[in-house]
Structure 1
Amino acid sequence: MKKIKKIGVFSFAKFQTVLGALMGMVCGVIYAFGGLIIDALVTVGWLTTTETPGLSFGTVLAFGALIGMPFIGAVAGFLFGIVEAVLYNIFAKWYGGLPLHFE
C-alpha cells in the first residue's frame, strides 16, 4: 500500500483545467442545441412565447456558449484545482495522505 502525501499544485490545476473545459464543452453543446430546438419550435409555431418569435439573435448567443462555457469551466477548474491541491497538501500532513492499493 502506497500513500499520496503531496500533490503538485500546478500539475493538478492543469488536470482540473482540462476536466473543467470538457465539462464546459458538454454543457455548452447541450445549452446551444437546446436553445436552437426551442427557437425552431417557436418558428414553426408549435410553441408560443411573449419574447421575440422564432430564430433570433438569442440563437447566436446560445451558440456563443460553445466558446464561453469551456473557457469559464477551464478558468474555474484551474482556480479550484489550485485550492484543492493546496488544501490536500495541508490535510495530508495531518492525516498521513490518501492510501492507494495496487494489485
Structure 2
Amino acid sequence: MIIKRIDVFSAAKIIGIIAAGFGLLVGMMVFLFEGLLGPMTGTGNGFAMMGGLMVIALPLMYGIAGFIGGAIQALIYNAAAGVIGGIRIETE
C-alpha cells in the first residue's frame, strides 16, 4: 500500500488538535509553576493570573500554529509524493 496523497484540511485539523493538546499541557504546567513561584517572589496574584491566562492562550496559539503547520506539511508531502511516489506501507 502506498500513500499517494494526504487531504490537506484533514491533516491540518488533526495536527492542530494534537498541538492544542500539547498547548493545554504546557499551559497547565505554567499555571502550576507560576502559582508556586508567585508567593515566593512576592508578586502575589499577578503570577497566578498570568498562569491562568496561559491555560487559555497556549492551547489556542499552539492549535492555530499546528493547523497552519499541518496544512503546509501536507501540501509539501503531496508535492513530493507526486514527484517520487509516496510512502510505502506494509500491512498484514
Q: State the TM-score bracket (shorter-chain normalisation).
A: over 0.9
Answer with 31-40 or 85-94: which moved more: 31-40
**2:85 is the counterpart of 1:96:** yes
Other structure's SS at 2:2 match: strand
Match of 2:70 in 1: 81
Relative to the length of structure 2, the TM-score reads 0.93
- Deviation of 1:56 after TM superposition, in Å, equals 2.5
Q: Which has the higher helix share?
A: 2
Other structure's SS at 1:20 match: helix
How do residues 57-76 of structure 1 correspond to structure 2 at under 5 angstroms? 57-76=46-65
Question: Which is higher, the Rg of structure 1 or of structure 2?
Answer: 1
- Deviation of 1:37 after TM superposition, in Å, equals 1.1
| Distance across 2 between alignment mates of 1:64 and 1:54 | 16
Gaps of 5+ in 1: 43-48
Cα RMSD for the two superposed structures:
1.1
| Distance across 2 between alignment mates of 1:37 and 1:61 | 12
Match of 1:14 in 2: 13
Runs of 4+ in 1 over 6 A off after TM superposition: none
Conserved in 1, the CA contact under 8 Å of 2:16 and 2:66?
yes
Gaps of 5+ in 2: none
Other structure's SS at 1:63 match: helix
Letter in 2 for 1:100: I
Relative to the length of structure 1, the TM-score reads 0.84
